[in-house]
Amino acid sequence: MEPLETIGDDIDSWTTMMFLYHSALKKVNTKLEILNDEFRHVHKYNPIEYFKSRIKTPESIVKKLKRGGYESTIANMVKYVNDIAGIRLVCSFTSDIYRLAEMIRRQNDLTVVTVKDYIKTPKESGYKSYHMLVTVPIFLSEGVVDTKVEIQIRTIAMDFWASLEHKIYYKFEGNAPDYISKELRDCASMVSMLDAKMLRLNEAVLRAKEEQADK
């Protein structure tokens, strides 16, 4: 089969492209479910609280291309829009984020293209999350096509902040007053403190259980 970037711009080509992204989401979703089940079986603990997957709408894809100064072609969509297929993993603790990232990285039929760690280096808005861009091979009758999927990993608290931040900024179409932006950054700081405190609490609980087991 042709490389994904060379697919044409007719209706059939669009259908083919979306089929590939839907197939990639299915494959990655299944992998994550198996990893979570295996972790629960071995360690009696599930690092994933829940996850959501979605395909960007045509309108969102076109808007993103326009913001980047690109023509609205299928080739440009595939080349420049990395989050057409996206999965958001939500976990309890920040330590789970890096554990999950390593589990994903070890999958031998996934290729990690890029990593953006907005936890160690948050965005100016206060946004925190761990982003992985991966490719997954989709085996078709005419060959194999590597298809991109963006995976975002964050805690419940980070997801809460990001969801509300998106809603607030959407109302202002990205041009929120300075005082709103400052309040959101302050809330992001509180979320970070909450995550850190909950992680310390969880570590204390685990230590206490180990001490009880040793008695």
* Cα distance between residue 19 and residue 99, in whole Å: 31
Helix 178-214 vs helix 156-171: crossing angle, to nearest 10: 170
Quick one: 66 exposed, middle or buried, by C-beta within 10 A (0-12, 13-18, 19+)?
exposed
Pairing of strands 143-155, 85-91: parallel
Q: Is 155 in contact with 129 (CB distance < 8 Å)?
A: no
* Pair of tokens at residue 190: 């509180």
Whether 102 is catalytic: no
Are 150 and 131 contacting, i.e. CB atoms less than 8 angstroms apart? yes
Buried b (16+ CB within 10 A) or exposed e, 124-142: ebbbbbbbbbbbbebeeee
Distance (Å, whole) CA 56 – CA 70? 17
Indicate the Cα dihedral angle 51, 53, 173, 58, nearest 10°. Answer: 180
Q: Which of 2, 150, 165, 211 is catalytic?
A: 150
Q: Which residues belong to the active site?
A: 150
